[in-house]
Amino acid sequence: MLIRIAVERTIGDTAGMQVSTLRVGLLASSIAAMEVLLWPGRMGHAESVSRGAEIKQVVYMYSVTEYCGLNTGEVYDGYRREVRHLTRQGGLPESTVRWLRIHGMLAADLEYDDRGLGGFRKWCRTEGLDAARHFLAFRDAQLAAERSQVTTP
């Protein structure tokens, strides 16, 4: 909008600017409609929304490990196992899970950008290490459960 105002003062309002503004408005309306569809506020969907929030948080956490260079094979395996577990448990459609993953990655990207030059170091020492430990613990727990299922008749 600020650019449009500056250009409009200089050259006047043009038809192309109106079409551009219309497109931006339609895009914003479409995004808002998708948000409403993905995050229904009805009482029956409260549990699905909380599971959705868990998936988004897990993706955010893994994205932090990626930014911090802590995404080893074991950490990635723990992340995939947890997303798979939450997806099965939540019974959410794949399209919703895809949007949740995108929102989780975006949240991490915005947080990284907000840290400023060098500010990510503390983020990595705190949230990054916590996230990596979380995925390793989840992976270890699942592997132990799988081993106990194999050995138990």
Chain segment 108-144, per-residue pLDDT in tens = 999 988 887 778 888 999 999 999 999 999 999 999 9
Least confident of 9-13, 33-37, 85-89, 142-146: 33-37
E strands present in 24-138: none
Give me the pLDDT at residue 50, please: 76
Q: Where are the domains of the chain?
A: 1-38, 44-151
Mean pLDDT of 99-110: 94
Does residue 67 sit in helix, strand or coil? Answer: helix
Structure-block tokens of residue 119: 């500010």
Which position has the higher pLDDT, 98 or 39? 98
Which residue type is seen at 107? A
35: tokens are 């948000």
Q: Give 153's pLDDT tier (boundaries 50, 70, 90).
A: low
Alpha-carbon distances, residue 75 vs 10, 27, 79, 145 (angstroms): 54, 37, 6, 18
Q: CA 45 to CA 51: how far, in whole Å?
A: 10
pLDDT given at position 12: 52
- Looking at residue 47, its pLDDT comes to 53
Which residue in 86, 87, 103, 83 sits closest to 39, CA to CA? Answer: 103
Q: What is the pLDDT of residues 19-77, one digit of tens each?
A: 444 444 444 444 444 443 444 433 444 455 577 899 999 999 999 999 999 999 999 99
CA distance 86 to 123: 25
Identify the pLDDT of residue 41.
Answer: 39
